């Protein structure tokens, strides 16, 4: 396959290199609408009906024919139309029909005059305004035409789509089966939360970040825990993930000091590229496949793991799960603190974006060391500094990428 071991790659090149190899591997299955939250549409949805399905009143008031109003005299009320109870009687000349919001307008209606613009007396209803044709009438198909495409394949179903599908009378949708993702952390120094730390130990935090980001994508995971830097244990974990999941995501063990070890194992089990990415943080990154599962090896440094997940793993998982992926919004802002930067890598510095008196302002969260996780927790955006750019002075314009659904 050619995974270009050891090459220094730009982020874009790495991303395109991965996406070119990945296809959706999740079959379609029908689920009832009540169980469809967070699932991903396998097909486009065409509307089986028009919405609204009939012309109806947008206001409580009176359905009128303009010809009847021409004389300027009050109109008698011929009958009533309620939502769900159309008026089906005769509509003699010189009459109007009392009508409520959502009720079908009787045939021949030119407009609905809202109640507040009328006066009732013994002589009938006096109209205080002259309606224009079509006023306060919602037309059949005004919202959605029968046969129109309403949602595209790859749409993840949220509280915004489910009522739309219900309004079309759709009871069952064809969705992708969930992607199966296994995760583990590697490192002899890692201890699970809830246990005491020995000298030289740290808590495994990456797994909580990776699990949470997967959950935000609507993906549940098979969590294989912490695997020590031991060939037999690693081998067993790789094999289990390969058997039970479509994708394996690990953190740690791909940096220069450790890669040889993991590399040997992975070369035996599949085909993997160990990349040096021209981004900061997040330089080491591994991508490839075991015998059947795709493999993403994230750097161990916590901020690097989060950044590479967002920039590379999220779009790749979206492709595999059949999710239509949209990049988070980018904006430009004036930076109010100087930023350290050397040319050569694309930087994802952690920033705090706010509304200033003259537009958007962004400031640094402080130390940008990839081990300083608090720099990420205080941030609300990445300050994305172009590869060739050097240090940035206060007052310069920078691009910021908002934290999207993954991190909020």
Residues that bind ligand AMP (CB under 6 A): 185, 187, 189-190, 202, 204-206, 251-255, 257-258, 299-302
Closest to Mg ion by CB, 36 vs 226, is: 226
Closest to Mg ion by CB, 61 vs 302, is: 302
Between CA 317 and CA 321 the distance in angstroms is: 6
Q: Which two tokens stand for residue 299?
A: 């750097």
Residue 204 contact, options ligand AMP, Mg ion, none, Cβ 5-8 Å cut-off depending on partner type: ligand AMP
Of 321, 322, 307, which is closest to residue 381 (Cα–Cα)? 307
Smallest distance from the beta carbon of 224 to ligand AMP, in angstroms? 13
Question: Which string of DSSP letters, residue by residue, matches 77-142?
Answer: EEEEEBTTB---S---TTEEEEE-TTPBPPTT--EEEEGGGEEEETTEEEESS-PPTTTTEEPTTS
Closest to ligand AMP by CB, 250 vs 364, is: 250
Closest to ligand AMP by CB, 55 vs 204, is: 204
Residue 185 contact, options Mg ion, ligand AMP, none, Cβ 5-8 Å cut-off depending on partner type: ligand AMP
Closest to ligand AMP by CB, 14 vs 335, is: 14
E strand spans, 166-289: 172-176, 181-186, 190-191, 202-203, 221-227, 247-251, 271-277, 279-280, 284-289
Between CA 254 and CA 159 the distance in angstroms is: 39
Smallest distance from the beta carbon of 292 to Mg ion, in angstroms? 26
Closest to Mg ion by CB, 185 vs 368, is: 185
Smallest distance from the beta carbon of 405 to ligand AMP, in angstroms? 23
Residue 202 contact, options ligand AMP, Mg ion, none, Cβ 5-8 Å cut-off depending on partner type: ligand AMP
Smallest distance from the beta carbon of 387 to Mg ion, in angstroms? 27
Evaluate the omega torsion of the peptide bond into residue 281 and state whether it is cis, within 30 degrees of 0. yes
* Dmax (CA) of the chain: 96
Q: Give the x/- contact pattern for Mg ion in 176-215, rule: CB under 5 A.
A: -----------x----------------------------
Closest to ligand AMP by CB, 143 vs 223, is: 223
Between CA 57 and CA 38 the distance in angstroms is: 35
Between CA 221 and CA 214 the distance in angstroms is: 7
Q: Which two tokens stand for residue 9?
A: 């790659």
- Selected from 252, 282, 299, 322, the binder of Mg ion by CB under 5 A is 252
Q: Which two tokens stand for residue 119?
A: 């006066």
332 Cβ neighbours under 8 A, 6+ residues apart: 360, 397, 398, 399, 400
Residue 50 contact, options Mg ion, ligand AMP, none, Cβ 5-8 Å cut-off depending on partner type: none
302 binds Mg ion (CB under 5 A): no
Q: Are 242 and 184 in contact (CB under 8 A)?
A: no
Residue 349 contact, options Mg ion, ligand AMP, none, Cβ 5-8 Å cut-off depending on partner type: none
Smallest distance from the beta carbon of 265 to ligand AMP, in angstroms? 14
Measured at CB, which residue is nearest to ligand AMP?
300
268 Cβ neighbours under 8 A, 6+ residues apart: none
Contact residues: Mg ion, CB under 5 A: 187, 252-253, 300
């Amino acid at each position: 396959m050619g995974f270009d071991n050891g090459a220094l790659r730009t982020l874009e090149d790495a991303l395109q290199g991965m996406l070119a190899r990945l296809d959706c591997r999740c079959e379609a299955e029908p689920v009832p609408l009540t169980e469809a939250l967070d699932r991903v549409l396998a097909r486009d949805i065409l509307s089986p009906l028009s919405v609204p399905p009939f012309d109806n009143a947008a206001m409580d008031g009176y359905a009128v024919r303009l010809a009847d109003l021409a004389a300027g005299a009050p109109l008698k009320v011929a009958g009533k139309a309620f939502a769900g109870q159309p008026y089906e009687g005769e509509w003699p000349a010189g009459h109007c029909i009392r009508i409520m919001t959502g009720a079908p307008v009787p045939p021949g209606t030119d407009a609905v005059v809202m109640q507040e613009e009328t006066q009732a007396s013994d002589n009938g209803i006096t109209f205080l305004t002259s309606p224009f044709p079509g006023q306060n009438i919602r037309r059949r198909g005004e919202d959605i035409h029968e046969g129109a495409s309403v949602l595209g394949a790859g749409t993840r179903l949220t509280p915004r789509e489910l009522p739309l599908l219900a309004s079309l009378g759709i009871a069952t949708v064809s969705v992708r089966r969930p992607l199966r993702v296994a995760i583990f952390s590697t490192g002899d120094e890692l201890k699970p939360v809830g246990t005491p730390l020995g000298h030289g130990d740290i808590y495994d935090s990456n797994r909580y970040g990776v699990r949470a980001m997967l959950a935000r994508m609507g993906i549940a995971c098979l969590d294989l825990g912490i695997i020590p830097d031991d060939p037999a244990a690693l081998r067993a974990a790789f094999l289990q993930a390969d058997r039970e999941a479509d994708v394996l995501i690990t953190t740690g063990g791909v940096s220069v000091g450790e890669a040889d070890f993991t590399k040997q194992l992975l070369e035996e089990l599949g085909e993997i590229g160990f990349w040096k990415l021209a981004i900061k943080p997040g330089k080491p990154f591994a991508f490839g496949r075991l015998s059947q599962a795709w493999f993403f090896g994230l750097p161990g440094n916590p901020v690097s793991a989060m950044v590479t997940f967002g920039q590379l793993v999220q779009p790749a998982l979206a492709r595999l799960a059949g999710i239509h992926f949209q990049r988070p919004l980018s904006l430009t802002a004036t930076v109010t603190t100087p930023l350290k930067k050397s040319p050569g890598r694309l930087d994802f510095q952690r920033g705090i974006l706010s509304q200033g008196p003259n537009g958007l302002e962004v400031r640094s969260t402080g130390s940008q060391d990839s081990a300083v996780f608090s720099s990420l927790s205080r941030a609300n955006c990445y300050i994305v500094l172009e590869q060739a750019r050097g240090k940035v002075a206060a007052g310069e314009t920078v691009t910021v990428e908002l934290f999207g659904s993954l991190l909020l």
